[in-house]
Structure 1
Amino acid sequence: MLPDITLRTKASKLTAVTTAVALAMAPMSAGLAQEKGPPVIRDTEAEQLLRDYTRPILRAAGLEKQNIQVVIINDGAFNAFVADGRRIFVNYGAVMQSETPNQLIGVLAHETGHLAGGHLAKMREEMSRAQTQMIIAMLLGAGAMVAGSRGGNSNGGLANAGAAAVAGPQEMIRRSLISYVRQQEENADRAGVKFLTATGQSAKGMYDTFKRFADESLFAAHGADPYLQSHPMPADRVAALEEIARSSPYWDKKDDPALQMRHDMVRAKISAFMERQDTVYRRYPMSNESLPSRYAHAITTYLHGDLRSALAQIDGLIQLQPSNPYFYELRGQALLEGGKPVEAIAPLRRAVQLSNNAPLIDMLLGQALVATENKAYTEEAIGILRAAVARESEAPLGYSQLAMAYGRKGDFAEADLASAQAAFLRGDNKTARELATRAKTRFAVGTPGWVKADDIVAAKPMPGQNSK
């Protein structure tokens, strides 16, 4: 589905596995760049695959009941990190560059190690302690400089000593923080291997991924001070990881072929939606008749406007796997975006059925029903969309389509409220407040609709959103 796939930014060329603790020490520009929130990709097939990857690891880590989500970020760099204790963020580039499930699962196990170790909270405590130490050092140094300046030129040495008193402790504190980060990285490696072993999975993919990064960064790391690195020096880290990973009885265990196929299908899907058409065909030439290749060809054909050919290709996929919900979803999406919403309904109904009512696919079906402009579908669309947003409350698409359905019904109070909810989720807080304020005038005071609208009016921006 990839409904938020319209965010087609150029992929970063940086290659790194970034963790939450490293993120906490990022420069100020990184914080400013996140004011509007990270661009997120939503897709049922990809998200389900990542859930299946993380579920056994989270269970082994004792985090099974924490409702930890995996979020896919629209960035082509290989990157994964944790930032709030309840979500693991994975760039789509990490999926694309992981040739096997085990390679990506290893990275997810490492990030789970940060969550299980409480590294976010511990890092905040460490940084708070370091900040206090730095303030004290600066005050003491400033005092020495003031004393030196009052004593005239004869006390210039005291002033210089004061400057050194400011710089010296700051450098020591900074090195101490970075050393602490490196230790957390090593702990996350060990925990990741432990979780993989507990679930009967190999840590070889994790080792292969980190070794590749080490090999790529040897030139860049040459001559660098190992105590100034936010992660352990690559060679040291990889050597330690290899030692513990090879000790697992599952070192040589291969990925299940069915799981490998699912992995390859998601990689093909992401390539088709996110990369240029010529890049897609270089990855998956027409001579490649594999299922992932055919999937990529069908998607890129519909995206570039050849609906008839795309439908024929999708129908060929359905003949091969008639119980695959994502092929029906693709057919419905292609018809809907091709201006044929009525024809899109049947395949989307089938996709909903086969996917056990996946909320994002439900929303796409609701969108098709609304797009027909047939009032006979209005009540059904409202029912489907309300159920979908109840299960998936952070997808603006569901609320925007719900607003259209309510508007067609003439229920303008609910339409304004749904539009406000969609705007709020998109980060457009000004519009959200305006719509919610208007919705409040349409609802009776104290009713559930009025309360929800009032909550939006009074709400603070969601993390990463602008307050304007």
Structure 2
Amino acid sequence: MTSFTFPLRAAAAALAGLMAMTPAAEAQMPGGLPIIRDTEIENLLRDYARPLFRAAGVGGSQTNVIIVNNRGFNAFVANGRRIFINAGAILDSRTPNELIGVMAHETGHIAGGHLARLREAVERAQIIAALGMIVGAAGVAASAATGGGRSGVGEAAPGAITAGAHMGMRSLLSYQRGEEAAADRAAINYLNATGQSAKGMVETFRRLQNETMFVARHVDPYTVSHPMPADRIAIIEPLAKASPHYGKVDPPALDARHQLARAKLAGFLDRSDAITRRYPPSDTSLPARYARTIQMFRFGDRTRAAGMADDLIRSQPNNPYFHEIKGQILLETGQPAAAMGPLRRAVSLAPNAGLIRIMLGHALVASGNNAVLDEAIRELRLALQREPEAGDGYRQLAIAYGRKNDRGQADLASAQAAYHSGDLATARGLARRAQGSLPTGSPGWLIAEDIYNQRPRRN
């Protein structure tokens, strides 16, 4: 993609999934999540989220939206202030309004402090389960003391232990269903406050209802963490239709960006045959051409792909992401010098895009032209101010400094790359080595000291 992926460890449980039909007992905590980074799509999601966050009073730099490389239609919050959106939710949301409804729901979880309260509910459920187990254990002890079997206590005690755990789980699930309903109602309020329609929410739940209709017949509604889609529709549809904004449609410019984002994800994530089904040759729209350009890049003639990117640029000369995709095609086909021009243009059109600057820095370094090393270092440093955890940016910076024979800065950048890639042992060794070449007490020396003083986290 015009981006990179990396594993991210969520620090808390997944809280809000739009389509959680699986009984909670079978659900798993998120571990290493494959994350998609892409400036174009991230900017779109931020534009969707910004008015919702403002309406909910949860704005700030710590509240952000993250794209998960998963094709399921789902979203959740974690760490209290992060909304995770599956790529599948973006691909399957036919309009901006549908995806905005999903994000409004997740914003409701953040504003309601549901993640923190979920931890309390888990503790309460554990207490209920523990009490049941204590009662059951007492029954076992009583049975043993009396020889067992006389009053059925010995047979009932194991059942009491199991019942205690079952009661605890049901209590937790009941709590979660209540929080999901609260987030739905909050979402309606945020959409009303921002002058947007809740119709997309209703349509999303109706589609989920149709897709899960067979499964829902065989699921005990008291053993799932979310209300059933039909129940959610029954509650939110009257509220949505009562809003004066219910019939409002998305602005054409926003819809155009949404369709391009969907096309880009399809182009990079789908198989070639799936891309062709979604965007057949008869479809000459800009999103279809975008998807086919990426399809050609991934599965076809990469030289043709660069020409197709030129066609996109002619359609929208000031679209930075069309210049970016051409630069990526050229860079990844071994033409870094040719990639510099389109990537410089992309950066000029999107100066705050740290990921694009990293790609430009990569192209400058990979060109082998020492005359552009200072430009590469400047672009990479600017990029890393906005993307301070981007390991690839530090790796390219280390190469650039190495070619300039600046050993201290090269080792420091390598240490930062290793640190942000999770290799703490290597990072500490490189940091100590960097300190041997950097002036004591200088900014770089202090950064190296901070890295060296890091210790592995205990699980």
TM exceeding 0.5: yes
- 2:10: which partner in 1? none
**Does residue 359 of structure 2 align to residue 360 of structure 1?**
no
Superposed displacement of residue 192, structure 1: 0.5
Indicate how the Cα distance of structure 1 residues 24 and 48 shifts in structure 2: closer, same or farther if over 3 A, else same: farther
Paired residue type of 1:176: S
User: Does the 8 A contact of 1:20 with 1:82 survive in 2?
Assistant: no
Identical pairs, percent: 50
Q: Secondary structure at the match of 2:60?
A: helix
Deviates more, 1:90-99 or 1:430-439: 430-439
Distance of aligned partners of 1:305 and 1:382 in 2 relative to their CA distance in 1, 3 Å threshold:
farther
How far off its partner does 1:159 sit?
A: 2.7
Query: Residues 16 and 76 of structure 2 are in contact (CA less than 8 Å); yes or no, is this contact kept in structure 1?
Result: yes
State the partner residue of 1:100.
Answer: 95
Alignment of 1:1-400 (within 5 A): 2-4=2-4, 18=17, 27=26, 30-31=28-29, 34=31, 37-65=32-60, 67-155=62-150, 157-304=152-299, 306-400=301-395
Aligned residues of 1:427 and 1:461 also touching (Cα < 8 A): no
TM-score by length of structure 1 reads: 0.90
Counterpart residue type for residue 362 of structure 2? Q
SS of the aligned residue for 1:379 comes to helix
How many positions carry a matched residue from both structures?
452
In 1, are the aligned partners of 2:24 and 2:223 still within 8 Å (CA)? no
Which residue type is aligned with residue 84 of structure 1? N
Q: Secondary structure at 1:213's aligned position in 2?
A: helix
C-alpha contact (below 8 Å) 2:129/2:167 kept by paired residues:
no
Deviates most, 312-321 or 364-373: 312-321
2:11 maps to which residue?
Answer: none
Moved more, 393-402 or 52-61: 393-402
Task: Tell me, in whole angstroms, the C-alpha distance in 2 between the residues paired with 1:459 and 1:77.
Answer: 37
How far apart are 1:366 and its partner, in Å?
A: 0.6
State the Cα distance separating 1:358 from its structure 2 match: 1.0
**How does the TM-score come out when normalised to structure 2?**
0.92
Contact persistence 1:100–1:260 (CA under 8 A): yes
Runs of 4+ in structure 1 over 4 Å off: 19-28
Instruction: Identify the residue that residue 404 of structure 1 maps to in structure 2.
Output: 399
- The answer to whether the Cα contact below 8 Å between 2:412 and 2:434 also exists between their aligned partners in 1 is yes
Aligned position for 1:10: none
Q: Cα–Cα, structure 1 residues 204 and 367, in superposed 2: closer, same or farther, change >3 Å?
A: same
Aligned-partner Cα distance in 2 for 1:328–1:126: 50
Query: Aligned-pair distance for 1:310?
Result: 1.7
Per-residue deviation at 1:313? 1.5
Instruction: Provide Cα deviations, 1:273-300, integer angstroms capped at 9, x if missing partner.
Output: 1111222122112221111111112222
Q: Distance in 2 between matches of 1:24 and 1:255?
A: 35
Distance in 2, matches of 1:23 and 1:434, equals 45
Paired residue secondary structure (2:33): coil
Report if aligned partners of 2:18, 2:102 keep a CA contact under 8 Å in 1.
Answer: no
- Structure 1 distance, partners of 2:171, 2:294, is 50
Q: What is the alpha-carbon distance in structure 1 between the residues aligned to residue 405 and residue 162 of structure 2?
A: 67
CA distance in 2, matches of 1:154, 1:296: 71
* Cα separation, 2, equivalents of 1:460 and 1:25: 35
Q: 5 Å matches for 1:430-445?
A: 430-445=425-440
How far the C-alpha of 1:76 sits from its partner, in A, is 1.2
**Structure 1 residues 22 and 414: CA distance shift in structure 2, 3 A:** farther
For residues 180 and 21 of structure 1, what CA distance do their matches in structure 2 show? 15
Query: 1:335 offset after TM fit, Å?
Result: 1.3
Determine the C-alpha separation between the residues in 1 that align with 2:370 and 2:456: 35
Query: How far did residue 26 of structure 1 move?
Result: 6.2
Q: Give CA-to-partner distance per residue, 1:437-459, whole Å, 9 cap, x none.
A: 43344445544333323333443
CA distance in 2, matches of 1:205, 1:192: 11
Q: How has the CA–CA distance of structure 1 residues 442 and 138 changed in structure 2, closer, same or farther, with 3 Å as cutoff? A: farther
- Per-residue deviation, 1:428: 3.2
Secondary structure of the equivalent of 1:255? Answer: coil
Q: Deviations over 1:203-225 (max 9, x none)?
A: 01111111111122221121432
Amino acid at match of 1:449: G
Give, in whole Å, the separation in 2 of the partners of 1:23 and 1:82: 18
Displacement after TM superposition at 1:157 (Å): 2.5
| 3-state SS of paired residue (2:67) | strand
> Residues 231-276 of structure 1, C-alpha deviation per residue, up to 9 Å, x if partnerless?
1122212111112111111111111111111111111111111111
Q: Secondary structure at the match of 1:143?
A: helix
- Whether the 8 Å contact between 1:21 and 1:120 is mirrored in structure 2 is no
Measured against aligned partners, the alpha-carbon deviations of 1:185-217 in whole angstroms (never above 9, x if no partner) come to 000000001101111111011111111111222
Shift in Å at residue 147 of structure 1?
A: 2.6
Distance 1:450 1:324, change over 3 A: same
Secondary structure of the residue aligned to 1:40 is strand
Q: 1:79 to 1:26 in 2, by over 3 A?
A: farther
- Cα distance in structure 2, aligned partners of 1:172 and 1:350: 61
Provide the rounded CA distance (Å) in 2 between the counterparts of 1:224 and 1:44: 40
